Amino acid sequence: MHICHVGNMANDGYATVKALRAAGVNVELLIDPSDFGMGLPQWEIHDIMDDPYQMSLSKLNDYPLPEWVKIYTREKNPFKKAVDLFKATRGYDLLHCHFPTFNYLQFSRTPYLIYEAGFLRKIHDYNTHPKGRMNWEHLGLDAFRGAECVTWTNTDMKPMIDAVGVNFDAFIPFAIDTNRYIPTTKRGESDELQLFHPTRQTWNVKGNDRLLRAFTRLIKAGAEAHLTLVDWGYAEDVQAAKTLLKPVEEHVSWVPPMSKPRLIKTYQESDVVVDQFLLGASGTAGFEAMSCGKPLLMYFSESATRCFGEKPPHLDARCEDDILVGLMRLRDANLREKLGAEARGFVERRLSEVVVARRLRDIYDAVYHKAEEPRRLIP
C-alpha cells in the first residue's frame, strides 16, 4: 500500500508523514512550493531567519528536503489545478488530503481520506444559511461526505464533523516528536517570570485580549514578569494588542514568526507557555510546549478529556480574572515543575509520533481493504 499526504497546512503533513515513515509505513508528502513560508517543510526543519511573508522560492531551494517530500506546481486556473493534482497523485493507493487539495482530489479515482485541521471551523456557522456559503465551501463539504474517512486533530471539532455527515471519522492528534521537543533545565539568572505566547493574534477565535489585560494587571500589581509574543495574526488585532500593552511595554517583547528550531529554543527558555481561551482546544503550539516540559495556561473544554481519555494536565483559565489568578500561581517554581513534568508525560502517552503513527496505520489498513471493493461513484 502506497500512501500520499497531499498538502501541508501548518506542517501537520510533514510531521505526520515523518512519524509514519519511522513506523515503516510506505508514505510520501506532496506539497505546493508556492504556499506561505510557515507552511513549508523547510520552515519545520531548518533554522531560517527570513520573514515568512517575504520568502522566495529561490531562497527555499537553498534548504534541502527529505527525498520523500515531493513537489507539484499548482496552477491558478481551478481546472488546471485539478489536472495537476491528478497527475501528481497517480500511482498511490490512498490519498490523505489536507486543505484545499480535497476540493479537487474528490474527483480522482483514488480512494481518499481528509485531514481536518480547521477547514470546518472556517465555514461552520450554525446561524448561517447554507445558501450563504461560497462555492468552494460547498465543494469542500461534498469532499467530506465522499471521503473514506475524515481524521480530525482539534478536540472541539466532533460536533462540526457530525453536522456534515461523513462515512467514518476518527480523532487523530497532532504528531509530536518527543525526541525533538524535549525539556531542558536551562534558565536565566533573573527571577522574572518568563511567559511565552506563541499564538496568533486572532482575538475573536483565541481570546488573546483576555491574556493581555490580565498580564497588564499582573504587572501593575507589582509582579516581576515578562511576556514574549509572536508578531503575527490579523493586522488589526496585532495593532490593538500593542496599544493595549503600551502601559507595560517595558515588560513585553515582540518577536517575528520563528522557524521550528528557534521556536523550540524559545519554549525551552520560557517558564510558562500561554495558549488560547475561547475554543477549548489547542493547536500544535500548546502540545509542543507541553512536550518541552512547560506548564500550559489555557482553556481546555471537556471535549479534550473525551478525545484523549484523560484531562490534559494544564492550569485552566478562561476569563480575564482566572488568567490573572493563574499567572499569579505560576510564579511558584514548584508548581511549574510539577505541571511541566505531568505535561511531558501526557504528550508521551497521547501525542507521540509512535502513538499517532500506530493509530493512523490501523485506519489506513481498514480503509484500504474496504476500498478494494468496487468504489461507489460520488453523486
pLDDT tens profile 56-91:
666 667 888 999 999 887 677 778 888 889 999 999
pLDDT at residue 126, as a whole number? 42
Inform me whether the pLDDT recorded for 51 exceeds 90.
Answer: no
Q: Does one domain contain both 64 and 121?
A: yes
Q: Does one domain contain both 362 and 258?
A: no
Q: Does one domain contain both 148 and 218?
A: no
pLDDT tens profile 86-108:
999 999 999 999 998 999 999 99
Inform me whether the pLDDT recorded for 129 exceeds 90.
Answer: no
User: DSSP string of 109-175?
Assistant: SS-EEEEESSHHHHH--TTS-GGGS-HHHHHHHHHHHH-SEEEE-STT-HHHHHHH--S-EEE-PPP
Residue pair 262/47 in contact (Cβ under 8 Å)? The answer is: yes
Which of 123-127, 246-250, 304-308 has the lowest average pLDDT? 123-127
pLDDT at residue 112, as a whole number? 97
Instruction: State the cell numbers at 66.
Output: 527529505
Residue pair 228/195 in contact (Cβ under 8 Å)? The answer is: yes
Q: Does one domain contain both 145 and 203?
A: no
Q: Does one domain contain both 139 and 241?
A: no
Inform me whether the pLDDT recorded for 376 exceeds 90.
Answer: no
Mean pLDDT across the chain: 90
Q: Which residue has the higher pLDDT, 357 or 131?
A: 357
In a domain, 379, yes or no: no
Instruction: Look at residue 252 and give its three-state secondary structure.
Output: strand
Q: Which helix (H) or strand (E) holds 96?
A: strand 94-98
Q: Which residue has the higher pLDDT, 35 or 368?
A: 368
**Which of 183, 332, 190, 337 has the alpha carbon at shortest distance from 251?**
190
In a domain, 359, yes or no: yes
Mean pLDDT, range 123-144, rounded to an integer: 70
pLDDT tens profile 188-204:
566 899 999 999 999 99
pLDDT at residue 121, as a whole number? 84
Of the spans 53-67, 182-196, 316-330, which averages the highest pLDDT?
316-330
Of the spans 33-37, 72-76, 117-121, 303-307, which averages the highest pLDDT?
303-307
Inform me whether the pLDDT recorded for 135 exceeds 80.
Answer: no
Mean pLDDT, range 315-324, rounded to an integer: 97
Q: Does one domain contain both 199 and 295?
A: yes
CATH number of the domain where residue 157 is located: 3.40.50.2000
Which of 173-187, 231-245, 249-263, 343-357 has the lowest average pLDDT? 173-187
Q: Does one domain contain both 271 and 217?
A: yes
pLDDT band at 148 (very low <50, low <70, confident <90, very high): very high
Q: Does one domain contain both 70 and 216?
A: no
In a domain, 336, yes or no: yes
In a domain, 378, yes or no: no
Question: Going by C-beta distance under 8 Å and a sequence separation of 6 or more, which residues neighbour residue 207?
Answer: 276, 277, 278, 299, 318
Q: Which helix (H) or strand (E) holds 287?
A: helix 284-291
pLDDT at residue 127, as a whole number? 43
pLDDT band at 375 (very low <50, low <70, confident <90, very high): very low
Q: Does one domain contain both 337 and 360?
A: no
% of residues, the chain, pLDDT over 70: 90
pLDDT band at 275 (very low <50, low <70, confident <90, very high): very high
Instruction: Look at residue 272 and give its three-state secondary structure.
Output: strand
Query: How many domains would you assign to the chain?
Result: 2
Residue type, 156: D
pLDDT at residue 372, as a whole number? 63
Q: Which residue has the higher pLDDT, 63 or 153?
A: 153
- The distance of Cα 65 from the centroid of its chain, to the nearest Å, equals 21
Inform me whether the pLDDT recorded for 182 exceeds 80.
Answer: yes
In a domain, 131, yes or no: yes
User: DSSP string of 298-345?
Assistant: E---HHHHHHHSSPPPSEE--SHHHHHHHHHHTT-HHHHHHHHHHHHH
Q: Does one domain contain both 81 and 98?
A: yes
Question: CA–CA separation, 321 vs 219, rounded Å?
Answer: 14
Strands of the sheet with 193-197, listed across from one edge: 252-255, 225-230, 193-197, 272-274, 296-298, 315-316
Question: CA–CA separation, 256 vs 253, rounded Å?
Answer: 10
In a domain, 294, yes or no: yes
Question: CA–CA separation, 241 vs 227, rounded Å?
Answer: 12
Question: CA–CA separation, 336 vs 343, rounded Å?
Answer: 10
Which of 116-120, 125-129, 203-207, 357-361 has the lowest average pLDDT? 125-129
pLDDT at residue 192, as a whole number? 94
pLDDT at residue 89, as a whole number? 96
% of residues, the chain, pLDDT over 90: 76
Bridge partners of 51, per DSSP, are none
**Which of 157, 184, 182, 370 has the alpha carbon at shortest distance from 283?**
157
Q: Does one domain contain both 164 and 211?
A: no
In a domain, 377, yes or no: no
Q: Does one domain contain both 27 and 109?
A: yes
Give me the domain span that covers residue 254: 193-350
Bridge partners of 29, per DSSP, are 5, 69
In a domain, 183, yes or no: no
